[in-house]
C-alpha cells in the first residue's frame, strides 16, 4: 500500500498498483497513469477501452476479463494486446482506477 | 514481494478435453498478466491444433478416477460423447471458449504456438494438417531455446 501523487492529487495504490479506492480517480489522471504503465501516447482506442473498463466496473461492481472485454467493447483481442502489451484488462484497470478484475479466462 | 514470473513455456501432451484445457488456461492467463507465453503441443496434444480433430476432443471416461464413473460404465459406447457434450454445455454457460476458439484467442494474444517435430514424424503429419496459427514444427532442443529465461510447465 502506498500513496502517490497523480495529477496533483494523492491517491492510494495497493502493492500491485491498483487503486484501493476507485472514488479517488478522475479522468485527468489517465495520461499520467498510462505513462506509469509505459503507454506514452493515448489513442482513441486506448480511451475507449479505459472508459469501457470504468463503466463496466461502475455498472457491475467489477471490471471485465480480457475475453469479456473483447466481446463487449468491440475491440478485438489482437488489438487489445497491441494497445496494452502487458495485459489489457490488468493495465486498463490500473489506468481506469478500478480493482484488478478476477477471472480465469 | 517476490520477483514476478515474466515468461512461461507450456507443454500440452494429452489429447483429452481435460488434458488440454489446463494448459490453455495457463497460457491465456499468463498473457492476461503480461507474461510472455509459448505453447508446445506434443503426442496426443497435437489433436488440439489439428484441423480435422480439434473440434472433436473428448473427455476420457475410462481410467479417469476423477470422474467418479465406474470403468465398466465409462467404457460403454457413447458415454464419452455424452459426457463431452455435458461438459461443453456447462463450459459454454460459463463463457469458456471451445478448444479451437480458445487456441485462436491465445494466438491473438501473441503467444507462440508450436508443434513437436518428433510427434509429427511419429504420426505422419505435416504443417498443412495444423491450424494456421501454428508458427512452426520444432524439436525439443529448439523448444528449450525458446523456453530460455522462463519457466516450463508440463501438462
Q: In 3-state terms, what secondary structure has residue A13?
A: strand
Alpha helices (runs of H) in chain A, residue ranges in sequence order: 30-36, 44-60, 66-73, 77-83, 88-95
| B6 part of contact set with chain A, CB < 8 Å | no
Task: Note whether B33 contacts A65, CB cutoff 8 Å.
Answer: no
Task: Note whether A90 contacts B33, CB cutoff 8 Å.
Answer: yes
Q: Is residue A74 part of a domain?
A: yes
Asked if residue B150 has pLDDT above 90, the reply is: yes
CA distance linking residue B133 with residue B50, whole number of Å? 11
Domains within chain B, CATH numbers bracketed:
7-55+98-154 (3.40.1260.10), 59-97 (no CATH)
State the smallest CA–CA distance between residue B18 and chain A in angstroms. Answer: 16
State the smallest CA–CA distance between residue B97 and chain A in angstroms. Answer: 9
Residues in chain B closer than 8 A to A76 (CB atoms):
108
Taking only the tens place, the pLDDT of each residue in A11-53 is: 999 999 999 999 999 999 999 999 999 999 999 999 999 999 9
Residues in chain B closer than 8 A to A81 (CB atoms):
31, 108-110
Q: Is residue A6 part of a domain?
A: yes
Q: Is residue A102 part of a domain?
A: no
> pLDDT value at position A104?
87
pLDDT band at B24, cuts 50/70/90? very high
Question: What ipTM does the predicted assembly reach?
Answer: 0.93
Residues in chain A closer than 8 A to B96 (CB atoms):
105
Domain CATH number, residue A6: 1.10.10.370
Q: What percent of chain B is predicted at pLDDT more than 70?
A: 100
Cα Dmax for chain A: 36
> pLDDT value at position A105?
86
| Averaged pLDDT score across all residues of chain B | 97
Domain span holding position A46: 2-95
Q: Is residue A58 part of a domain?
A: yes
Indicate the number of domains in chain A: 1
Q: Which residue has the cell 494497445?
A: A83
Asked if residue B140 has pLDDT above 90, the reply is: yes
> pLDDT value at position A103?
87
What global pTM score does this model have? 0.95
Taking only the tens place, the pLDDT of each residue in B35-81 is: 999 999 999 999 999 999 999 999 999 999 999 999 999 999 999 99
| B93 part of contact set with chain A, CB < 8 Å | no
Asked if residue B1 has pLDDT above 90, the reply is: no
Q: Is residue A105 part of a domain?
A: no
Amino acid at each position: 500500500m502506498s500513496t502517490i501523487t497523480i495529477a496533483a492529487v494523492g491517491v492510494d495504490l495497493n502493492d500491485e498498483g491498483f487503486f484501493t479506492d476507485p472514488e479517488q480517480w478522475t479522468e485527468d489522471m489517465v495520461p499520467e497513469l498510462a505513462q506509469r504503465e509505459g503507454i506514452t501516447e493515448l489513442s482513441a482506442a486506448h480511451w475507449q477501452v479505459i472508459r469501457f473498463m470504468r463503466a463496466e466496473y461502475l455498472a457491475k461492481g467489477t471490471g471485465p476479463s480480457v475475453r469479456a472485454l473483447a466481446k463487449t467493447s468491440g475491440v478485438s483481442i489482437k488489438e487489445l494486446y497491441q494497445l496494452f502489451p502487458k495485459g489489457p484488462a490488468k493495465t486498463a484497470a490500473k489506468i481506469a482506477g478500478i480493482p484488478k478484475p478476477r477471472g480465469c479466462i | 514481494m517476490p520477483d514476478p514470473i515474466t515468461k512461461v513455456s507450456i507443454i500440452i501432451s494429452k489429447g483429452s478435453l481435460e488434458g488440454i484445457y489446463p494448459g490453455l488456461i495457463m497460457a491465456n492467463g499468463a498473457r492476461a498478466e503480461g507474461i510472455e507465453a509459448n505453447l508446445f503441443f506434443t503426442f496426443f496434444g497435437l489433436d488440439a491444433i489439428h484441423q480435422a480433430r480439434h473440434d472433436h476432443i473428448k473427455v476420457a471416461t475410462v481410467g479417469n478416477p476423477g470422474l467418479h464413473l465406474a470403468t465398466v460404465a465409462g467404457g460403454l459406447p457413447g458415454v464419452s460423447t455424452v459426457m463431452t457434450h455435458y461438459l461443453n454445455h456447462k463450459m459454454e454457460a460459463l463463457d469458456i471458449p471451445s478448444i479451437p476458439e480458445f487456441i485462436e484467442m491465445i494466438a491473438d494474444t501473441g503467444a507462440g504456438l508450436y508443434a513437436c517435430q518428433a510427434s509429427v514424424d511419429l504420426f505422419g503429419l505435416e504443417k498443412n494438417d495444423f491450424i494456421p496459427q501454428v508458427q512452426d514444427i520444432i524439436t525439443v532442443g529448439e523448444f528449450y531455446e525458446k523456453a530460455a529465461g522462463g519457466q516450463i510447465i508440463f501438462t
